[in-house]
Structure 1
């Protein structure tokens, strides 16, 4: 793990409880790694790299790969709708590939990773939920659609802030994200 603080957050996640859809994070990381090297049409290289890194961020938590990417997409959708000026564009520039997994864009990435195979009903529900993440209530709805308790929003927010910080995102932008997501930084 790159950051020791991730271990303490992982403990909080483990204690808070989260429904697991049956896909382990190790499985998800292996899928992402295989796609990263063998499937050129699963998105841009930057998107594949970002997805792999995000899956690694959530590897110590009890969430599935689908939940990790879906929860991330929900929070990014909220950030995109709430950040002022060009702040989201800055974030997307500093973490290449984020735009492809923001909001309902994540559904196509989840499909490319094979995480929604044979789940057309869930795909439709998830697409609707992730397309409605312009408010905290929409984010909570998306987390529920992913089978997670809404208390996980804070855990995801903290992990994403740490990840973005490790990617060189500026402190003022991280503070703006924390404010949008309703967490302390």
Structure 2
């Protein structure tokens, strides 16, 4: 029994010295420290909460306006890089405020995060780099990468209601390396 107490106290004291990291649970519980990177971007995306798609993401995932806009913008940025200009134009015409959403994507250092590592991996890495950039953007916004799939689902539902199967298919084609 004494050994158990001794081991437990050693483990607890060791854990107390490890710096705390903000995680996905902080997004759910509303911990403001976890969303600090997104708070800085709020001024550039102000007013996007009135956008129906951004509002849906905010309410369904519990994200801030900056997080929802930046996350959607990073998904649209990936779609834009994978679709031709005509297809992306059709997709973006179905989403109000596409330019503002694209502008809400955080800027990333070219050699940082998962996308930076993949950029050094040659042809094999480049095929996954777009998806990695989405994950890196989510991280910069203080959003867990587990939110990617639900956010895509919300976007698909929105597009289905607004424009039909054709735009949903374009979105999924554009996000092919991610999904």
Q: Is the 8 A contact 2:75 2:134 kept in 1?
A: yes
Q: How does 1:1-185 map to 2 (within 5 A)?
A: 17=25, 19=27, 20=30, 22=32, 51-58=50-57, 59-102=59-102, 105-106=103-104, 126-128=106-108, 135-168=130-163, 170-182=164-176
Partners of 2:90 and 2:99 in 1: how far apart?
A: 11
**SS at the partner of 2:96?**
coil
Answer 1 or 2: which has greater helix percent.
2
Normalising by structure 2, report the TM-score.
Answer: 0.57
Runs of 4 or more, structure 1, over 3 Å off, are 20-23, 47-51
| Alpha-carbon contact 1:143-1:150 (below 8 Å) kept | yes
* Alpha-carbon contact 1:18-1:148 (below 8 Å) kept: no
Q: Label 1:49 to 1:139 Cα distance change in 2 as closer, same or farther (>3 A).
A: closer
Q: Name the TM-score, length of structure 1 as normaliser.
A: 0.55
Partner Cα distance (2:48, 2:162) in 1: 12
Superposed CA offset, 1:64-121 (max 9, x none): 222111100100100111113511101222333212322xx126xxxxxxxxxxxxxx
What is the total number of aligned residue pairs between the two structures?
126
Distance 1:127 1:49, change over 3 A: closer
Flag structure 2 segments of 5+ consecutive residues without an equivalent. Answer: 1-23, 34-43, 110-114, 116-128
Q: CA separation in 1, counterparts of 2:70 and 2:93?
A: 21
In structure 2, how many angstroms separate the alpha carbons of the residues matched to 1:153 and 1:92? 19
Q: Aligned equivalents of 2:48 and 2:67: distance in 1? A: 18
- Structure 1 gaps of 5+ residues are 1-15, 24-41, 108-125
Shift of 1:56: 2.2
